[in-house]
Structure 1
Amino acid sequence: MESIPYGRQNITPADIEAVVAVLRSDFLTQGPVVPAFERAVADRVDARHAVALNSATSALHAACLAMGLKAGDMLWTSPISFVASANCALYCGARVDFVDIDRETFNLCPEALARKLEQAEDTSSLPKVVVVVHMTGQPCNLSAIHALSRRYGFRIIEDASHAIGARYRERPIGNCEFSDAVVFSFHPVKIITTGEGGMVLTNDPEIARKVALFRSHGITRDAQRMVHQPDGPWYYEQLELGYNYRMTDIQAALGLSQLQRLDESVEARHRLAERYDELLAGLPVSVPVQRSEGRSAFHLYVVRLQLERIDRSRREVFEAMRADDIGVNVHYIPIYAQPYHERMGVRRADFPQAEAYYREAISIPMFPTLSSAQQDRVVRSLRNALAP
């Protein structure tokens, strides 16, 4: 029987034709398609500036650099995320700490953040940047977090790797109304893909300029920004220590093509989520909660096992489903539990909601081309795995 993965890219003939057109053109790397993709995404989410990079990890790093994060500074983020949400601080020489999650949304909890900020103010250890993660595509409570940023003076980066196509208060995630920058991911299992890729969205022209500089070795060919007088049309200057974080035209062509199906993809995910909600009713699991102020992109569909109602551990349920060729996964192991981060002395007891989430969470298959028959098979496997 065919294995059903937790996520899968959807590549159409139109996507292939778009990529082939670039391969037949004069530009493969930094040609006209990258800026066209940037403009299309910026317009789609109502942001003023967009800078495409080779991954969301690179985008997080470049956004932190553009905000001046450095040694001696502190970045806070959610422990329930991929490690890149925290590693972007370490790349800058800064320190990282975590804020516990909201039990229902799995996102950084504004109440926990407020308590931690009050304590940090007393010890002069406030963060310079807070990275909020729209976990599974469910928007954070951005308004509450933004209000705290005004009071305590930190910058906000939205890690929206799961959330292109999501909405908060009827506006698209990516518009930066409540943040300084937003990061999207275009990894193959995300809502749209460029193979590998990421993007920084911002309404701040200086952040956009710095991110664009950092993605290309810190080099400029803009004479107005140069320190010295150009001595010829070939002249360029390295102004900062940058990186090779560029996206190619090949990737951007795929992204442009996929972007045309963004609404279709998110709608399909919502239909699947609604059907999962119905099929799972009555089972000892908690299904994702949708808050009225936000509309998830449903990158992931995470169920939480009601362990007090079943006689099996999460591992036993997980392994039983894997034995049925259902590619369940766990998103994510708390970042502070990783050996590299454990050395920094974070106490698990400080994050009771993240710990509870990690004991109970399983991601079940969610992708737009998942058929009803496959979905039925996933639920049947879960039902059997939960049985005593």
Structure 2
Amino acid sequence: MIPYGRQDISQTDIDAVVGVLQSDFLTQGPKVPLFEKVVAYKVGAKHALAVNSATSALHVACMALGLGQGDWLWTTPVTFVASANCGLYCGAKVDFVDIDPHTYNLCPRALEARLVDAEHNGKLPKVLVAVHLCGQPCEMQAIYELSLRFGFKIIEDASHAIGGKYQGEYIGNCRYSDITVFSFHPVKIITTAEGGMAVTNNDLLAEKMNLYRSHGVTRDQSLMTHDSDGPWYYQQIALGYNYRMTELQAALGISQMERLDAFVSRRHQLAQQYDILLENFPVIRPFQHQDSYSGLHLYVIRLNLDKCARSHREVFEGLRAHGIGVNLHYIPVHTQPYYQKMGFKQGDFPEAECYYSEAISLPMYQGLSDKEQLDVVEALRKLTRT
């Protein structure tokens, strides 16, 4: 089976993890802060805070921004449920903005229209989660300008996008956002097995996220309510969680970061080859916005069903039957039963639903060989042509 994504583990990666196993620290040692420093330097952010998943990073980001009861979080319906659930964790309400039919990201034009209406109804969002689907950044400058006009905070969910660029600069510099979140799940661009990170240029937000990721506990005397009782002393000054990353994960991440640019470059080579190989197929190939250099976590095609020999499901199942482990990213969040109980329904976000009816994620990972890619294309040819 050729999977849609997979990790790329070298002997150097293995040696880095073994080195931690042979050290004095398996957790709360020197590797996590070093990993944070490496990522912050790479993306051009002031602060980086490693956690055990991107979901945890989204949660502490929302907490740091003060999201709570009576507030609204908006995001795209075409994302994994974590991008919306993080608002619910904080007691906020969640709503969605439909996607751009070309980039599949949250549409700034649709966002502006929704904001105008929400301002009239007194339901403006406190936080917007802009998801960089497939690794292609949203139109962040336009979204940022709307945030200044309507007064909401911005989290970039860049779980797919580390190593990508927007307007020539690495995603994660937070030029147009308050916080950016990365994922290091095994199918992502680099991996720490499980893990995530939040980056920011704001000192206060970094301080809050640091507290929330580790029980709300601090040993920083400047944050305590009275003088320390002694060198053993700590205080819980907020309600936090155990979202810490281990030394093993961080060591793997540091090693993987050394190959980040090479990983993304290979993904672009594969995408260019797909673009050529699929030129005459009844599919819509991915569109790349002129301001973006995608991290290319995913290569998503949309079937032109009017010209395709089989249905969406038949093509998907046929590819899997041929040993091609395709997937679909994502089922629109508002169609999930949990969200439909909140009042969302089919038809609320037509562009997202149309995308879902046609999209297939083809294999895309740096270890995919040219021959394997040709096998994917040949299987797709047999299934889509009459």
The TM-score, its normalising length taken from structure 2, stands at: 0.99
1:184-223 residue pairs with structure 2 within 5 A?
184-223=182-221
Q: Provide Cα deviations, 1:124-175, integer angstroms capped at 9, x if missing partner.
A: 0000000000000001000000000000000000000000001000000000
Match 1:371 to one of 366, 369, 372: 369
339-348 or 374-383, which deviates more: 339-348
**Does the aligned pair in 1 maintain the 2:282–2:385 contact within 8 Å?**
no
Give 2:58's aligned amino acid.
L
1:10 aligns with 2:8: yes
Match of 1:324 in 2: 322
1:60 aligns with 2:76: no
Match of 2:266 in 1: 268
Distance across 2 between alignment mates of 1:242 and 1:91: 12
Match 1:350 to one of 329, 348, 351: 348
1:231 CA displacement: 1.3
Distance across 1 between alignment mates of 2:262 and 2:346: 40
Distance across 2 between alignment mates of 1:126 and 1:311: 45
Match of 1:172 in 2: 170
> Per the alignment, in what secondary structure is the counterpart of residue 76 of structure 1?
strand
Give 2:351's aligned amino acid.
Q
Distance across 1 between alignment mates of 2:279 and 2:95: 37
Distance across 1 between alignment mates of 2:316 and 2:348: 27
Distance across 2 between alignment mates of 1:335 and 1:236: 41
**Does the aligned pair in 1 maintain the 2:309–2:383 contact within 8 Å?**
no
Match of 2:43 in 1: 45
Distance across 2 between alignment mates of 1:245 and 1:219: 12
Q: Provide Cα deviations, 1:244-267, integer angstroms capped at 9, x if missing partner.
A: 000011100000000000000000
1:298 aligns with 2:296: yes
1:242 aligns with 2:240: yes
Give 2:134's aligned amino acid.
T
Q: Supply the RMSD in Å over aligned alpha carbons.
A: 0.7
Give 1:40's aligned amino acid.
V
Give 2:375's aligned amino acid.
R
Match 1:86 to one of 71, 84, 87: 84
Give 1:85's aligned amino acid.
S
1:145 aligns with 2:143: yes
> Per the alignment, in what secondary structure is the counterpart of residue 193 of structure 1?
coil
Match 1:69 to one of 64, 67, 79: 67
**Does the aligned pair in 1 maintain the 2:26–2:247 contact within 8 Å?**
yes
Distance across 2 between alignment mates of 1:88 and 1:136: 20
1:311 CA displacement: 3.7
Give 2:271's aligned amino acid.
A
Give 1:22's aligned amino acid.
V
1:346 CA displacement: 1.6
Give 2:16's aligned amino acid.
A
Match of 1:229 in 2: 227
Q: Provide Cα deviations, 1:281-323, integer angstroms capped at 9, x if missing partner.
A: 1100000011111110100000000011124211000011110
> Per the alignment, in what secondary structure is the counterpart of residue 2 of structure 2?
coil
Give 1:149's aligned amino acid.
S
Give 1:36's aligned amino acid.
L
The TM-score, its normalising length taken from structure 1, stands at: 0.99
> Per the alignment, in what secondary structure is the counterpart of residue 162 of structure 1?
coil
Distance across 2 between alignment mates of 1:150 and 1:348: 32
1:36 CA displacement: 0.4
1:39 CA displacement: 0.5
Match of 1:340 in 2: 338
1:117 CA displacement: 0.2
Distance across 2 between alignment mates of 1:335 and 1:312: 26
Distance across 2 between alignment mates of 1:340 and 1:227: 41
1:53 CA displacement: 0.3
Give 1:188's aligned amino acid.
P
> Per the alignment, in what secondary structure is the counterpart of residue 329 of structure 1?
coil
Distance across 1 between alignment mates of 2:18 and 2:78: 38
Distance across 2 between alignment mates of 1:223 and 1:29: 23
Q: Percent identity?
A: 61
Distance across 2 between alignment mates of 1:335 and 1:357: 13
Distance across 1 between alignment mates of 2:284 and 2:342: 33
> Per the alignment, in what secondary structure is the counterpart of residue 182 of structure 2?
strand
Specify every segment of 5 or more residues in structure 2 that has no aligned partner in the other structure, as ranges.
none
> Per the alignment, in what secondary structure is the counterpart of residue 195 of structure 1?
coil
Match 1:183 to one of 181, 185, 189: 181
Give 1:275's aligned amino acid.
Q
**Does the aligned pair in 1 maintain the 2:267–2:366 contact within 8 Å?**
yes
